[in-house]
Chains A and B, each alone.
Chain A
């Protein structure tokens, strides 16, 4: 029900450094911090087994500087464009009378589940200089070649399309959680809708945009699939090249360490925005009345619909149409497709476990960071983001290294795979949880204490139920992200394990397009289910 929370105004209660956090909380967060720092330790081991000369030699190769610059440009463009797109879509879906809002609210999130290398491959087959589009227009218009989108434009577009939902979901949650009172106040003070948006709504959304953009930026720097196919040489691309060269694990590790530094810069840049710790206290205001009203779009309805349709068309309909085309072409050519149900169940089970574990694990870190701000809690907070910033292959190899040595009994088990997902996707769960927790009035928890309940009882009976929107959103994001994860799934899963992502990869890498299409489509379809569940909840709450 708090998903429908609308309020009369936000009250800022300045956080005070209060009693020390409970020991159990500190312990849980520390253990988690230790777990997620494993990959960095591995990288340090691999890097420093080489001498400093070798290291300098690797890092000062002539192309490294250019690659850093390119990665930076790509991250900046993708995060900024995703933020703009997410802001526009989020505002339309949450705040206006846009037609078919429920449909848009589901389909605009789904591109997240399409693996970047699939999205890139599909885009190439459609939009390459001599792709499908060119072939369609070749006959009537005599177009020989359409402009190449290889390099920065293609990589940026594909990465925007597969990562903007991170920002969209956080922005939507923030819009839902914050009331319209401030916006209405601004209108009554003589400010037009645009000025109100830029001077009131936007500043309110800054923390949400920042936490979404952090995920987008980290996803972008750690992506290999899109940049390799679209030929834009970034840092992660360089790291992968070292691994594909077989001999150069040291160089890969050294470059990854640089990437960690890069990620810390991004992290600091985005967290400066919500550095000012303030509790955005949401009042549970009356339903109905003016607060439920939405901005009428009027004649802007058509451009708004066009934006939603275009985004969905490009990010979801085109990829799915091409996949369907492959599938139908393969089936009609008599190709045998093979059963994918087992793979689908595996995908759902491991992604579901990953979502559950990641949310549970993220709770202590987030509670510590929000309720007990300080050096220790922000250090753990920061470390937790490393996994998402590093290429999946690096994390996977780090866990291969530690797993096979330290816990051979758990190595290559489901538990190990879920642990890998935890290390990779912890920050994905943390973002929505943090936003949710910031909206829970600390007084409500204190009220529980004064009514005779132990801190853990208060946490489970008060805090957890109030965090439900964040828990669901965080879990959904982890689920969607884990559905398409590849390197850790391949290397750390049990022997003989196969899921939709590995099947899509196995088939597409050897040009079995029809065989790749079926699991790829199922990936999207299965991912739509948790989204509909989330949206369904919202609907009943509104009714």
Chain B
């Protein structure tokens, strides 16, 4: 791990970046964010939310309609400036890797290194070593597995020592097991290289596990920026809450105590102040792991679905009010579908509440 002694440098700054496509209206709207040196920023959101557009704008592959982009304190886009991609010192790992099919692994990696660069050979060896592909150096891209291609793309982008590395859905073309393993590997590699990274994904698990900071985007706008566990546990809105993990929303009422609310599942502690105007219409967000389920002939609900996910059972419970929410439980107690159960909040930490959205009620 790198330790930063001097105050962290701001390596990337986007202010009000807007790029709209016609006629679809897709693109990025007024996006502002910052990334500090050595940080990995995970830009996460559903398909078509504008995250790739933003990434391409940072690389100089798109020119935004509005806004400024600074890399390491220098303006590269905006204020009448547009620096061509090759002069930005920004590396890019493409979703489909975009390896040069007519070159070997070694030539792919060497491509971005100046011909007369000192220690060129050494640098190539280093990178091959870094991505653990030394024995594949003379292969062509079509002779590699998906994971190997991914690592070549990474090494190629790292070769010129860019100030920022941009990665567009780097794991989406891989199978889930490989993807999970590579995420760890890549995170290691990136931290070892001490490089600043913005990576885009639609997979919230990858974002949470890889990002030092995550930024959640929806419909072209940044919804929330923060460290992963904050974003996960304290989402600023329902979209973020639901996007980052399984979440159910249960009607809640205020209690006498300012920081507690009452729900069908009992009382719960609420995170922060209640930022809800009309306290009569609010929902409490619960995640399956925040709930404890137990068979109970009386209970407060009925099991309507059960999914076996290896380590846990994932139950769907229809509460007596008609609200359905999910709960996780270990194998120890297997409850049949149709059985009455008792569901309780056992989060052990405060939970967020949101104003009720009329459109969401069925």
Contact indicator B98/A446 (Cβ below 8 Å)? yes
B96 close to chain A: CB less than 8 A: yes
Q: Which residues does chain B contribute within 8 Å of A314, judged by CB atoms?
A: none
A465 close to chain B: CB less than 8 A: yes
A63 close to chain B: CB less than 8 A: no
- Which of B89, B102, B156, B159 counts the most A-chain CB atoms under 10 A from its CB? B102
| Min CB gap B352→A, angstroms | 39
Contact indicator A16/B21 (Cβ below 8 Å)? yes
The size class of the interface chain B forms with chain A is: 35 or more
A274 close to chain B: CB less than 8 A: no
Please report which residues of chain B, range 95-113, place their CB below 8 angstroms from some CB of chain A when the two chains form the complex.
95-96, 98-102, 111-112
Q: Which residues of A contact B (CB under 8 A)?
A: 1-2, 5, 11, 16, 18-19, 281, 283-287, 441, 443-444, 446-454, 461-462, 465-466, 468
Q: Which residues does chain B contribute within 8 Å of A19, judged by CB atoms?
A: 63
B11 close to chain A: CB less than 8 A: no
Interface 1/0 per residue, B79-100 and A, CB below 8 Å: 0000011111111101110111
Contact indicator B101/A451 (Cβ below 8 Å)? no
B140 close to chain A: CB less than 8 A: yes
Contact indicator B86/A450 (Cβ below 8 Å)? yes
Contact indicator A462/B142 (Cβ below 8 Å)? no
Contact indicator A284/B141 (Cβ below 8 Å)? yes
The complex places the Cα of A389 from the Cα of B96 at a distance, in Å, of 41
Q: Which residues does chain B contribute within 8 Å of A449, judged by CB atoms?
A: 60-61, 84-86
Give the nearest-CB partner of B22 in chain A: A17
Contact indicator B98/A1 (Cβ below 8 Å)? no
How many A-B residue contacts, CB cutoff 8 Å? 87
Contact indicator B102/A1 (Cβ below 8 Å)? yes
B54 close to chain A: CB less than 8 A: no
| Min CB gap B110→A, angstroms | 10
Contact indicator B142/A450 (Cβ below 8 Å)? no
Contact indicator B111/A286 (Cβ below 8 Å)? no
| Min CB gap B210→A, angstroms | 21
Cβ-neighbour of B98 out of A16, A441, A452 (below 8 A): A441
Q: Which residues does chain A contribute within 8 Å of B96, judged by CB atoms?
A: 11, 281, 283, 441, 443
The complex places the Cα of A465 from the Cα of B166 at a distance, in Å, of 26
Contact indicator B101/A2 (Cβ below 8 Å)? yes
The complex places the Cα of A466 from the Cα of B21 at a distance, in Å, of 30
Q: Which residues does chain A contribute within 8 Å of B114, judged by CB atoms?
A: 452
The complex places the Cα of A286 from the Cα of B95 at a distance, in Å, of 19
Please report which residues of chain B, range 138-161, place their CB below 8 angstroms from some CB of chain A when the two chains form the complex.
140-143, 156-157, 159-160
Q: Which residues does chain A contribute within 8 Å of B159, judged by CB atoms?
A: 451
Cβ-neighbour of A466 out of B101, B142, B166 (below 8 A): B101
Contact indicator A443/B98 (Cβ below 8 Å)? yes
A-B contact pairs, 28 of them (CB 8 A): A1-B101, A18-B62, A281-B96, A283-B96, A284-B141, A286-B143, A441-B98, A443-B95, A443-B98, A446-B94, A446-B98, A447-B92, A447-B94, A447-B99, A449-B60, A450-B60, A450-B91, A450-B157, A451-B86, A451-B157, A451-B159, A451-B160, A452-B87, A452-B160, A453-B111, A453-B112, A454-B84, A466-B101
B247 close to chain A: CB less than 8 A: no
B327 close to chain A: CB less than 8 A: no
- Which of A2, A443, A447 counts the most B-chain CB atoms under 10 A from its CB? A447
Q: Which residues does chain B contribute within 8 Å of A283, judged by CB atoms?
A: 96
Give the nearest-CB partner of A446 in chain B: B61
Q: Which residues does chain A contribute within 8 Å of B101, judged by CB atoms?
A: 1-2, 5, 284, 444, 466
The complex places the Cα of A286 from the Cα of B157 at a distance, in Å, of 23
| Min CB gap A393→B, angstroms | 43
Contact indicator A444/B100 (Cβ below 8 Å)? yes
Q: Which residues does chain B contribute within 8 Å of A462, judged by CB atoms?
A: 100
Known: A19-B63, A284-B141. A466 touches B102 (CB 8 A): yes
| Min CB gap A213→B, angstroms | 30
- Contacts A446-B59, A462-B100 known; 13 new A-B pairs at CB < 8 A: A2-B101, A19-B63, A286-B142, A443-B96, A444-B98, A446-B92, A449-B86, A450-B88, A450-B92, A453-B86, A465-B102, A466-B100, A468-B102
Contact indicator A450/B63 (Cβ below 8 Å)? no
- Which of B100, B112, B159 counts the most A-chain CB atoms under 10 A from its CB? B100
Q: Which residues does chain A contribute within 8 Å of B166, judged by CB atoms?
A: 450
The complex places the Cα of A34 from the Cα of B350 at a distance, in Å, of 73
Contact indicator B142/A451 (Cβ below 8 Å)? no
Contact indicator A451/B156 (Cβ below 8 Å)? yes
Cβ-neighbour of A452 out of B94, B99, B112, B143 (below 8 A): B112
| Min CB gap A191→B, angstroms | 28
Q: Which residues does chain B contribute within 8 Å of A441, judged by CB atoms?
A: 96, 98
Q: Which residues does chain A contribute within 8 Å of B156, judged by CB atoms?
A: 447, 451
| Min CB gap A370→B, angstroms | 17
The complex places the Cα of A444 from the Cα of B99 at a distance, in Å, of 6
The 6 closest A-B pairs by CB, nearest first: A451-B112, A284-B142, A443-B98, A450-B92, A449-B85, A284-B101
Give the nearest-CB partner of B63 in chain A: A19
Contact indicator B140/A1 (Cβ below 8 Å)? yes
Cβ-neighbour of B59 out of A1, A16, A450, A466 (below 8 A): A450
Contact indicator B61/A452 (Cβ below 8 Å)? no
Contact indicator A285/B111 (Cβ below 8 Å)? no
The complex places the Cα of A320 from the Cα of B184 at a distance, in Å, of 68
| Min CB gap A538→B, angstroms | 15
The complex places the Cα of A142 from the Cα of B142 at a distance, in Å, of 64
The complex places the Cα of A451 from the Cα of B115 at a distance, in Å, of 13
The complex places the Cα of A465 from the Cα of B104 at a distance, in Å, of 13
Q: Which residues does chain B contribute within 8 Å of A287, judged by CB atoms?
A: 142-143
Known: A16-B21, A462-B100. A450 touches B90 (CB 8 A): yes
Contact indicator A285/B85 (Cβ below 8 Å)? no
Give the nearest-CB partner of A13 in chain B: B96
| Min CB gap B105→A, angstroms | 13
Q: Which residues does chain A contribute within 8 Å of B21, judged by CB atoms?
A: 16
The complex places the Cα of A447 from the Cα of B159 at a distance, in Å, of 13
The complex places the Cα of A287 from the Cα of B160 at a distance, in Å, of 31
Q: Which residues does chain A contribute within 8 Å of B59, judged by CB atoms?
A: 446, 450
Q: Which residues does chain B contribute within 8 Å of A448, judged by CB atoms?
A: 100, 111
Give the nearest-CB partner of A444 in chain B: B98
